[in-house]
Amino acid sequence: MAEMTDVRHSVRAKRIGLFAPIPYIGVSHSIISTAEIFAEHGCEVDVFTSKQKIGKGFLPKDILLLERPENRWRKPFPVNLIYSVIWSLKMCHGKRYKCFIGYDPPGLIEACLVGLIYKVPVIYHSLELWCSNDIPKRWYHFRLLPSPEMILKHAERFFHRGVEFTIIQDKRRAKILYDDNHLSPGETYYVPHTGRERVYKPHSKPDYLKHKFSIDQQKKILLMIGGINHTTLAREIAVAVGNWPSSWHLVIHGFSIPDYLDEISQSIDSDRVTLSTELVPMAELEILIASADIGLALYQDSDTNTYEMTSGKIGQYLRCGLPVIANDFPNLVDIVEGSGAGLCVHSMDDIPEAINDILKDYGKFSQNAYKAYLEYYNFDGAFEPVLRRIKEI
């Protein structure tokens, strides 16, 4: 991992609060990476979050994970926000923080309210775009109250105005965020939504997946990692495999909810699809990825956040030298085809042709994948200016 010794003493002996109220911190590589970097630079790091359901065991041991007890009333936003803020205020009592970082609207709002009480500056890190045109315009109580989603969006707009600066993946997403929040572009830093892992180049191709799942050695493995859900089109891809050449085998590795896994299992009519939901440490994950031949990063065009994504899983594929097949969304085309690291498709029907084209010149695509990772997914290098800026707070 890249050294940033020139700013090491600037944040030593300080405490940083990360507000990320999501139940899967352990598999959110960018949040983990941020916490790791601060810890390496002498900071104490508190992560304020909800009860963890996925990947908790993968968190660094020197990070203090503060899991908010579940609210037994289960009230929607903004009622549950009051409960969260009161709990966070108690957790912060007696501590001195350099700054708070709020992730996405829920984390931003909570961080700003707690920061207001304790006079702590707040940074907004937008991982997901919550755009107003994607929010259902529902009203409640005889049209007197807007929906919780609408209230959340208005709160994001209000609190975004007062942050020290904004962190987001790229300029396209930044413009959308500022426009949607009715703000002029402010101080912004661009950090990829990925982890800090190095390029992984094994001396010979691992047989991890073929050995673990008894897959024929002659098969070519197509790999999907990450969330297994409707957005990632996991079921549709699994069904499509039945119409692909018999020399290809699909492995879907990641996390999901039982109902969706059941839905996929019932839809699959092929012995060339393997579902893998046993999460593994990062050191093992890179071997798993490198043992595949092509990485799939396909998504349902369901909202602005998805259409404008950069996809963290693509970064994981690229660092292991896997050529990628992705949607023809603007950012994905720039990264995947612009670097020569893979091909983008418009529909599921285009996947077989893309696979064949990649296999014809596999070595070139693989080498370009390594180069693309260093160009587009260098987390440490992108985060260094953030550290320098925090020194000034």
Q: How far is it, in rounded angstroms, from Cα 372 to Cα 354?
A: 19
Q: Which tokens go with 385?
A: 């200016």
Q: Are 375 and 339 spatial neighbours (Cβ–Cβ below 8 Å)?
A: yes
The residues of the chain scoring below 70 in pLDDT are 1-13, 55, 57-58, 71-78, 137-144
pLDDT at 308: 94
So what's the pLDDT on residue 138?
Answer: 64
Peptide bond into 385 cis (omega under 30): no
Domain boundaries, given as residue ranges, for the chain: 5-195+378-391, 208-376
CA distance 66 to 50: 8
Q: What angle do CA 238, 239, 245 make, to 5 degrees?
A: 85
Q: What CATH number should be reported for the domain whose range is 5-195+378-391? A: 3.40.50.2000
The set of long-range contacts for 176-179, using a CB threshold of 8 Å and a minimum separation of 24, is 176/129, 176/131, 176/304, 176/308, 177/126, 177/129
Q: Can you give the pLDDT at residue 9?
A: 39
Token readout for 289 is 């990825």
pLDDT score, position 78: 67
Q: HEC profile for 131-157?
A: CHHHCCCCEECCCCEECHHHHHHHHHH
Residue 144 confidence (pLDDT): 62
DSSP code string of 246-259? TTEEEEEEEE--HH
Number of neighbours of residue 266 by Cβ within 10 angstroms: 9
Instruction: Give residue for tokens 């912004």.
Output: 188
> Residue 330: which H helix or E strand, with range?
helix 330-332
Q: How far apart are CA 62 and CA 368, in angstroms?
A: 36
Entry pTM: 0.90
Does domain 208-376 bear CATH number 3.30.460.10? no
What's the pLDDT at 141? 52
Topology agreement, domain 5-195+378-391 and domain 208-376: yes
